[in-house]
Amino acid sequence: MKVGGHWSQGLKASMHDPSLIVKQDELIVIIKDKYPKAKHHYLILPKADVRNLKALNIDHLSLLKHMQDEAKKLINGIESPSGFKIGYHAVPSMSQLHLHAISQDFDSPCLKTKTHWNAFTTEYFIDSEDVIRDVEKYGKVCCIDERSAKEILKKDLRCHICNESLKNMPKLKEHILVHMGKKNNS
Ligand code: AMP
């Protein structure tokens, strides 16, 4: 399958890349995130063309539930002391709907910027259950205000576990190692 060249279309190519695919069925494909922001980071995508959260309607409900069920099955088979979250970015950068399943260690060289951090550890990361609830109740996703979502990305850095404020990304990355038991607090 020939897929367009713009970077925002990259997931559409990766959905067909055997080196990234971990599971698929007739409705969805699960791939490894190419630039993982934690030790375990996967994307669950529908095979049908679904551009983003704004394109969702009541007809997508069973698909959304299936994506979430498959994400849960996947993470249940992975040992990760930090646990996992399953959700969507309020304003995704990549085209084609994708559900993130990401471990909460955030131990990855690809996690570099304040934007990365806030996108995964604040209310910018919308729980899959909330998306499903909206579509079930209203026939669309209502829980997103794009303008305020973009402001969230500029928020000061805070630890996702103890809420401590950190000056910069190197300090934050050093700090979270303490929670992961990789470093002493002294
Ligand atoms: P977002 O659109 O903000 O939900 O995030 C897109 C995710 O896709 C990020 O976690 C990226 O690391 C990941 N990503 C970007 N390009 C690719 C690609 N070509 N293949 C697989 N994952 C990608």
Residues 140-160: pLDDT tens digits?
Answer: 999 888 889 999 999 999 999
**Distance from the alpha carbon of residue 92 to the mean position of ligand 1, in angstroms:** 9
Question: Does residue 71 carry a pLDDT above 70?
Answer: yes
- Kindly provide the residue ranges of all beta strands, DSSP E only, lying in the chain, ordered along the sequence: 21-24, 28-32, 41-46, 84-89, 99-103, 125-127
Predicted confidence at residue 143, as pLDDT, reads: 84
Smallest Cα–Cα separation from 144: which of 156, 158, 133?
133
Output the pTM of the full model. 0.95
Q: Whose CA is nearest to atom 23 of ligand 1?
A: 34
The dihedral formed by the CA atoms of 92, 171, 159 and 93, expressed in degrees to the nearest 10: 0
Site of tokens 């934690």: 38
Ligand 1 atom, smallest distance to 91 CA: 3
Smallest Cα–Cα separation from 71: which of 18, 30, 108?
30
pLDDT tens for residues 27-62? Answer: 999 999 999 999 999 999 999 999 999 999 999 999
- Give the mutation target among 94, 102, 116 for probing the ligand 1 site: most ligand atoms within 8 A of CB: 94
Please report, in angstroms and rounded to a whole number, the separation of the first and last CA atoms in the chain.
Answer: 54
Site of tokens 């970077």: 7
Smallest Cα–Cα separation from 140: which of 50, 72, 68, 69?
50
158 phi/psi in degrees, rounded to 5 = -140, 145
